């Protein structure tokens, strides 16, 4: 399990290559996000590459020996992690291959290519694309796991360092879950800084990976994935992410895909924030009441990925 020291080391390692993204109060709006709580958004959608994923990819890159970087790098992704690894490959000037499932958003695929990576479409879901990435890694290419690598987890945890530095009075952090790397890293950092802070995860009903694993008390592999949001469509989490979540995550709430789309539209129309469905997932949980803050509860909500999914609704 990673520690707060690992997250702090990651912050030092990547500080010159990422943006310190802003936080802003989600008010006033015509439709309040909460009837009782005070909602503060962390705009990681403004991060380089468009999501928090740049943090983990760069931390992994900068942990490697030059010889390992020179071999080339490979990953599998629903979109945002692939963009981040493609960016890392460009920074390192090394050959980069990104396997994606067939449902990847065209804009995300184009961005992966724009950084010079070799984009390969494989299978309908992330786990199918990942099998091909692992096959390539077995031939000597350095593999970047999107959520179970300790350096990736520590890099994602730097989001929580910033949130609690900028808003130390936060009572709760709300975080979308795909494979579990983001909530793992953020939980370790946040609980070390402020042990009483609550960590709330958000997943789609169609990929309730962490929710079902926590309910079962073990890592569960889902029989099927029905969400249409590829960035949240991991069939199972990994042991390292599960153990951190079991220790630190208070609750995982579930939302429909349609709620994420509505949250994208809300963020654009009300606040001028362009988020993708996974980036809007935590906001969606508030809009539909899947999580209801208590009176005076200060909730830090991560808008974790950029996208134009809500902009056409205006």
What residues contact 112, with CB distance under 8 A and at least 6 apart?
Answer: 79, 82, 83, 86, 98, 100, 119
Q: Record the tokens describing residue 169, joined without a space.
A: 């009075």
Task: Please tell me the predicted confidence (pLDDT) of residue 79.
Answer: 87
Q: At which of 89, 108, 143 does a domain end?
A: 143
Domain count, the chain: 2
| Tens digit of each residue's pLDDT (9 = 90 or more) over 190-233 | 999 999 999 999 999 999 999 999 999 999 999 999 999 988 98
State whether 168 and 105 are in the same domain: no
Boundary (domain end) residue, out of 95, 115, 143:
143
Across the chain, mean pLDDT equals 95
Can you give the pLDDT at residue 126?
Answer: 85
Same domain, 32 and 81: no
| Domain around 66 | 53-143
Answer with the one of 119, 143, 167 that is the final residue of a domain. 143
Query: Tell me, what's the pLDDT at 230?
Result: 87
Sorting pLDDT into bands at 50, 70 and 90, what band is 142? very high
Whether residue 110 is found in the same domain as residue 174: no
Q: What pLDDT does residue 291 have?
A: 98
Segment 243-270 mean pLDDT:
98
Same domain (yes/no): 280, 183: yes
pLDDT at 313 over 60: no
**Predicted confidence (pLDDT) per residue in 278-309, tens digit:** 999 999 999 999 999 999 999 999 999 999 99
Overall pTM surpassing 0.75 (yes/no) = yes
Q: What is the CATH number of the domain that holds 89?
A: 3.40.50.1100
| 249 and 261 share one domain | yes
Residues 73-131 have pLDDT tens digits of: 999 998 899 999 999 999 999 999 999 999 888 998 999 999 999 999 999 888 889 99
């Amino acid at each position: 399990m990673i520690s707060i020291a690992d997250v702090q080391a990651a912050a030092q390692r990547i500080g010159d290559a990422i943006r310190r993204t802003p936080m802003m109060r989600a008010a006033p709006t015509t439709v309040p996000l909460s009837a009782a709580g005070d909602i503060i958004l962390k705009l990681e959608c403004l991060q380089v590459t468009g999501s928090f994923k740049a943090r983990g990819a760069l931390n992994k890159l900068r942990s490697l020996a030059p010889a390992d970087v020179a071999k080339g790098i490979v990953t599998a992704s629903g979109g945002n992690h692939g963009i981040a690894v493609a960016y890392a490959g460009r920074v390192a000037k090394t050959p980069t291959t990104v396997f994606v499932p067939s449902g990847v958003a065209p804009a995300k695929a184009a961005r992966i290519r724009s950084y010079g990576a070799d984009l390969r479409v494989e299978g309908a879901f992330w786990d199918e694309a990942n099998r091909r990435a692992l096959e390539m890694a077995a031939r000597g290419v350095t593999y970047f796991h999107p959520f179970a690598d300790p350096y990736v987890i520590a890099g994602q945890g730097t989001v929580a360092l910033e949130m609690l530095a900028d808003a130390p009075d936060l009572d709760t952090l709300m975080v979308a879950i795909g494979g579990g790397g983001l909530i793992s890293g953020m939980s370790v950092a946040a609980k070390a800084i402020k042990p009483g802070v609550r960590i709330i995860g958000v997943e789609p009903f169609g990929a309730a990976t962490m929710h079902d694993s926590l309910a079962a008390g073990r890592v569960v592999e889902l029989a099927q994935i029905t969400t249409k949001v590829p960035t949240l469509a991991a069939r199972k989490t990994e042991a390292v992410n599960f153990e951190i979540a079991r220790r630190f995550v208070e609750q995982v709430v579930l939302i429909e895909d349609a709620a994420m789309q509505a949250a994208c539209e809300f963020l654009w129309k009300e606040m001028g924030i362009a988020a993708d469905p996974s980036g809007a997932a935590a906001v969606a949980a508030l809009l539909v009441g899947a999580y209801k803050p208590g009176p005076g509860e200060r909730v830090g909500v991560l808008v974790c990925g950029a996208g134009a999914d809500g902009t056409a609704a205006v």
